[in-house]
Structure 1
Amino acid sequence: MNTNDVSHSFITLGFGLATVVVVMAVCMWISVRQQKLTVVDTAWGLGFAAVAIVSVFVTQRGDGMPGTQTLLLVLVVLWGVRLALHLHARNSKLPEDPRYKAMAEADGRSFAQVALNRVFLPQGIAMFLVATPVMVGMNNVGTKPVLGWIGALVWLVGMFFETVGDLQLARFKADPQNQGKLMDQGLWKYTRHPNYFGDACVWIGIWIVAASSWFGLLTVISPIAMTIFLTKVTGAALNEKGMRETKPGYDDYVRRTSGFIPLLPKKG
């Protein structure tokens, strides 16, 4: 990657940042009108798809390899749109997420202030950070095909775990006989968070596609940040805190089941 390619990447990063701001501003406006912070869950997937689409148009005049641009566009849009549709369909049928509700009630400020400072601004920053391989990778020159294939394969593994895990959980919850029970079947038998594991794999795969240049390699902060968010910040950590309080037998499930990477369940 030469100086022109780096400058093109910075231009793409600038347009990507503007896209994140617009998406988050519009979704925050909807959130405030509906008094529902879970709108940000839908915004998360849509924001990445929007960044990928805008990046393609911005890099048309740059030196990005068309094959890499197309691959990154397809990988990100498929993942983002699927996730947004899944979360919107789930959240639209439910009241406010208890985690968001507790956040809004404990803060002591107006709903709009909580939405901006505690939800949309932090997640907008995280979105831009995680999306950097998409914006930089579209400006790569001389992309190695093997990295494209490896990245796409890792992405496919991630999409399998995320999509199938979400589908299995939705079907489990839809059965009235499972009300109050713990989901420990299917992929959930091997990891307590197949959807989060899949999410991490998706972004590792996208980073691998972008890693053909030294600038693309630097965007390794993206899958690292996503994995930390999923395991330590907004994902598994918050989810498990609530599960321990509401699901009988959850501690035993934790003992026998891997917390992230799929493994055979422990016996005894």
Structure 2
Amino acid sequence: MSVLQFIFLAAVVGLLLSAIMTAAWQAQRTTGHTGWIDVFWTFGVGGVAVVASLIPLSVPHAPSARQIVVAVLIALWSLRLGGHILVRTREAGDDPRYRDLIKQWGASANLRMLLQLQSQAAVGLILALSVALAAHNPREGLGAVDLLGIALLVGALAGEAVSDWQLRRFKSDPGNRGRICEEGFWSLSRHPNYFFEWLCWLAYPLIAIDLTGANPLGWIALLAPACMYWVLVYVSGIPPLEEHMLRSRGAQFRRLQARTRPFFPFPKR
């Protein structure tokens, strides 16, 4: 992929994601359910990244094995996570993180939410371009590093799916009402689903980077895990969710904070 091709692809992907997140803004306004925001984002990023992976960059040609594998991987991510969020949204409707923001913003909530969702489109742009750089790596065939990236992503998807299932099962038990899940992966960290989500995005730099220099733009794919870590740990993931948990669970959640790590599943000393 040349620099000009990359710039053109970035412009197209950026415009598509901006439009998708504008539609998400309108959907949450119309329905009153903020949970639709992440449904639009996940399916939008996945769908755009699949197209960016498979599209020929020069003369038309059939997608390579690498392009097909990468497109399948991002599609699996999007369908798994998007499907989970869709079910959650249809049951609960609201996402407490967004609802809390709307309350804080008051009269300016509509405009600030639109700007917030455009910033999420920018995050999606970084992720989708990282996927495209992996798909369009000119290295022939799938080598050991590629297989490592594939295995990492599949394992991370499985870990995130198990985390979500464990939490869903815990919440479905009426006896756990008002309690905090500390079962399975949730005994190792406060947000194991976020940890596994971050691991997914480490796979694409492995596939995109070519140490021989054949794909110099591939190093840009490192922005995907860096950006996802920043978003999950410092911006829209852990901070607003833990603020909500402190308000709703109080001392119980503070005790959990004292004995577990927020992100990495390592014992807290």
CA contact (8 A) 1:65 1:141 kept: no
Determine the structure 1 residue equivalent to 2:266: 263
| Residue correspondence of structure 1 range 50-65 to structure 2 within 5 A | 50-59=47-56, 61=58
Corresponding residue of 2:106 = 108
User: Structure 1 residues 97 and 218 mapped into 2: Cα distance closer, same or farther (>3 Å)?
Assistant: closer
Q: Report whether the alignment pairs 1:174 with 2:172.
A: yes
Which structure 1 residue ranges, 4+ long, deviate > 6 Å from structure 2? Answer: none
1:234 paired residue among 236, 244, 248: 236
Inter-partner Cα distance in structure 1 for 2:188 and 2:252: 16
Task: State which of 124, 133, 158 in structure 2 corresponds to 1:127.
Answer: 124
Q: Distance in 2 between matches of 1:229 and 1:185?
A: 25
Which string of whole-angstrom CA distances, capped at 9 and with x for unpartnered residues, describes residues 83-111 of structure 1? Answer: 11111111222243333222223323355
> What is the distance in 2 between the residues matched to 1:162 and 1:175?
21
Q: Does 1:209 align with 2:207?
A: yes
Contact 1:65 1:138 in 2 (8 A): no
- 1:264 CA drift (Å): 4.2
Aligned residues: 262
The 1-side partners of 2:158 and 2:252 are apart by: 27
Give the RMSD, CA atoms, in angstroms.
Answer: 2.2
Aligned partner of residue 249 in structure 1, secondary structure: helix
- Which of 225, 228, 239 matches 1:223? 225
CA distance in 2, matches of 1:127, 1:114: 18
Q: Which runs of 5+ in 2 are unaligned?
A: none
Secondary structure of 1:151's counterpart equals: helix
Quote the residue 1:15 is aligned against: 12
Q: TM-score, normalised to structure 1's length?
A: 0.88
Displacement of 1:249 in angstroms is: 2.3
The answer on whether the counterparts of 1:16 and 1:54 sit within 8 Å (CA) in structure 2 is no
- Aligned-partner residue type, residue 224 of structure 2: S
1:50-89 Cα offsets, whole Å, 9 max, x none, are 1122213422646897122112111111111111111111
Measure the CA separation in 2 of the matches of 1:17 and 1:65.
23
